[in-house]
Chain A
Amino acid sequence: MNAILETGAAGFLARYEALLGRLPGDSTLRAAAADAFRTLGLPGATRGRRAEAWKYTTLQPLGGMSFGSSGPPPAIALPNAAARLVFAGGAFRADLSTSVPGFARFADQPEFGELSWPDRDPMVALNTMLAEDGAVLTIPNDRDAGIVFLVHAGIDGTSAHPRHMIRLGRGARLTLMELFEGEGCYVHNPVSEIHVADGAVLTHVRMQTESTAAFHLATIYAAIAEGGTYDSFTLNIGGRITRTEVHTVLDGAGAVAHLNGAQLLTGSQHADFTSVVRHAAPKGTSRQTVKNVLAGQSRGVFQGRIEVARGAQGTDGYQMNRALLLSPDAEIDTKPELEIFADDVKCSHGATVGELDPEQLFYLRSRGIPDSEARAILVRAFLAEALDPVTNDTARGLLEDAVARWWEGQA
């Protein structure tokens, strides 16, 4: 190990150089990704023009940090589940995992897929360059695979770049419950590629309760075939800087995408939820509700775009973003976009920003409820509503517990 550690983008590139020849999979692709990362850099950490996609989020703090690839694993409570895949610091931990049918390690069966854009998205370039492990999960046609837990444990001082490939065959069903936790200062930079075949249904619930010193930079690409459903929900509670970037393509007629989420932030946390829903085929439906609850000096970002390609007639797209500012120093930045190239469509979006409704407060106060309790009731109602789209009982239960814990922490 060198005595002087390189920091920021240079640090990641040095790690790539050091691992050359030992990384699994297509080395040409990795070299191209490394070139792209060298050019793109860490958004906000290098000089020059900021990319529009990163308008509200900077990774400048990462510029002065360096990360290793191993360390003592954190003590996290693992879910008591029959199907459980655990990754610590990005590496698969067979000792903590259970046997899951259709699962292979990325390290053994490296697949980069075809949906991602390492040449365009810096975080994807970084992942493509450094990915060493991940879950390759294949659900055969018409199989109901129940619920599978995918647990990521962050290790202090490390950066992890897991690469997941999830494939659902025709008519298959899966509930994928992803958990992100950890201790200390680390980077979680997962990239997931998801294929939902004709008539398949993937329920993807992501619960991010990382350490508040951690960086969570996740990118998800999903392609949905005819009559397929990708139903996702992301809860961001932890992390110092969080970026959740979701790209969904409705490739087949009548495909359905739900990209819901909630971000509960406090202190100086920053969380950015960026999503693109592309309607590439007729009669697709997309629904998105993202709620931000912002306390302290936190900053919430929502960027959502609905794209309707030419010929995607009969598209029905809806997007709603709501933010509740609980403190005078919190900030919300919202950019909901519509990009429509077909005429027989119904697309709408809405955004609201505000504090607790004084009229609602008055209503409760007039019924004898003390101010602090009235506020608590209203915030809890706002949060409960945010979780409404999650119908899986196990997932819903976990999310509600996490939200309740967050709210207790605020009191």
Chain B
Amino acid sequence: MPADSETLDTVRSVTQSGYKWGFETDIEMDVAPKGLSADTIRLISERKQEPSWMLEWRLKAYQAWLAMEEPHWARVEHARIDYQDIHYYAAPKKKPGPKSLDEVDPELLRTYEKLGIPLKERAILAGVEGADQDGYVEGSGQIAVDAVFDSVSVATTFRATLSKVGVIFCPISEAIREYPDLVRQYIGSVVPVADNFFAALNSAVFTDGSFVFIPKGVRCPMELSTYFRMNARNTGQFERTLIIAEAGAHVSYLEGCTAPQRDENQLHAAVVELVAMDDATIKYSTVQNWYPGDAEGRGGIYNFVTKRGACLGARSKISWTQVETGSAITWKYPSCVLLGEDSVGEFYSVAVTNNRQQADTGTKMIHIGKGSRSTIIAKGISAGRSNNTYRGLVKVLPSAAGARNFTQCDSLLIGQECGAHTVPYIESRNRSAKIEHEATTSKIAEDQLFYCRQRGLSEEDAVNLIVNGFCKDVLKELPMEFAVEAQKLLAVSLEGSVG
């Protein structure tokens, strides 16, 4: 059974024609002129009312970027990107910094309504009146949301509830003004300005993003979520996220993304930095559903993202979970630097590519601390004429005695025109470290199908079951709210695909 047509259909419906987030919102925008220069950066910094150290930091990044070359080692192909043909700043014009959702342009609210995720809890959002009464009900499983529209954070919910326990959750532009010491201490500490081409670009021009600070011993009372949407034409989105979990703190953070359907490509170059102190835990989940382009590969987002977490403290833990279904090109390697003794890094990933999509994604686990452990589970599903690559590094330095890694990468191919690739790098310089890596590539096995069919399941239900099982190890890591969303996005939900 080389290419099950129903499965293909489902993948197609999810990743192409089913891109129901492809609308554009007509909102008056404040847009900077196209092009990147020191002046553009000064303009961004000025609009954001940033302190001078931030501007200097940006300019330093810009200087570094000028000396760098666009990387081409990933298995992705694209037309040359003209970095001077992009607007580096675009903001909804009317109220650039609203304090509550009521102040937000109704057009924008309608946009979120259309998006359905994760702001779909309209009741919750309606409850957001002022800073003090944010309608949070203890134990109700509600989520605090920071919504970022093109370059600007438009609304953050539940801030009052969060501030009661000392949690700071706000747009990073606000954090730069309100908590400059915290930001200054940590920004660029995990991903230095000159880390790589796209990180340097982001450092120079990032416009907004989320800032999270969880103080010592606090378990964040709710899931935190950021919603990214790229709306304006010819813009790039360069958000920057910084999450700091002090000793014993615990936070679960969700990230979702969409963009309008367009013929041209748009650039998304984000940087995410996580810092975990002693016994702290950060769980970072992403459902990435940027516009993937059409069946012929026209349009779609170039998703070039640098995500890295530093497990600074003993027994700290950083866990990345990602479900990648969107973007024309994904170039993304959420990583963990395991400095703390007995620190833990995890990476759970499902990447689905279809049509002409290209995904080159994976992780890096750098073991420095004694007894540090990491787990990597990556599932790739390729369909259509897409290419899906897992690229990862497990590195054990001499100091990491007793380090432990387990890696499993599985690829599933649907159709004869796609490609699935696995490129793991394993480097060990400590004999007491134990590393295990395994990777498989296969189609849905005849005997598995036969087994299910024999027990009375339809062919499609059987495929459902098998593909669901294929991704289960990753999906179960997602918070409930996202797991539902992810299953919809994935080909594996397969609802209505029985032919």
**Partner-B contacts on A (CB < 8 A):** 52, 310-311, 313, 323, 325-355
Contact = CB atoms under 8 A, between A and B. Distances in A.
Nearest to A317: B441
Given A337-B423, A338-B422, A352-B436, 12 more contacts: A310-B416, A325-B428, A325-B431, A335-B424, A337-B424, A340-B421, A341-B418, A343-B3, A343-B414, A343-B418, A345-B441, A346-B442
Contacts of B439: 336, 338, 348-350
19 contacts: A311-B416, A331-B429, A333-B427, A334-B427, A337-B421, A337-B424, A338-B420, A338-B421, A338-B439, A346-B441, A346-B442, A350-B437, A351-B426, A351-B435, A352-B434, A354-B431, A354-B433, A354-B434, A354-B435
B430 A328 contact: yes
Contact of B425 (A333, A341, A355): A333
B413 interface: yes
Contacts of A336: 422, 424, 437, 439
Contacts, number: 118
Interface string B379-397: 0000000000000000010
B411 A353 contact: no
Contact of A348 (B413, B438, B443): B438
A337 B434 contact: no
Contacts of A348: 438-441
B171 interface: no
A335 B425 contact: yes
B415 A328 contact: no
Interface string B428-462: 11111111111111110000000000000000000
A347 B427 CA distance: 23
Nearest to B435: A353
B17 to A, nearest CB: 22
Interface residue tally on B, bucketed by range: 35 or more
A332 B398 CA distance: 12
Given A351-B436, A353-B435, A354-B435, A331 B427 contact: yes
Nearest to B432: A355
B92 interface: no
B419 interface: yes
Given A332-B428, A334-B426, A343-B443, A353 B438 contact: no
A137 to B, nearest CB: 36
B53 interface: no
B326 to A, nearest CB: 23
Contact of B420 (A311, A335, A340, A349): A340
Contacts of A52: 73
Contacts of A323: 428
Closest 8 CB pairs of A and B: A325-B431, A343-B413, A353-B435, A338-B422, A334-B426, A351-B437, A354-B434, A355-B431
Given A325-B431, A354-B434, A354-B435, A333 B421 contact: no
A329 B398 CA distance: 8
A352 B428 CA distance: 10
Contacts of B398: 328-329
A323 B442 CA distance: 26
A336 B411 CA distance: 15
Contacts of A326: 431
Nearest to A302: B426
A343 B411 contact: no
B35 interface: no
Nearest to B408: A350
Given A339-B419, A355-B432, A344 B426 contact: no
A42 to B, nearest CB: 22
B411 A338 contact: yes
Nearest to A355: B431
B2 interface: yes
A404 to B, nearest CB: 23
A345 B419 CA distance: 12
Nearest to A337: B423
Nearest to B412: A343
A261 B180 CA distance: 57
B414 to A, nearest CB: 7
Contacts of B440: 346-348
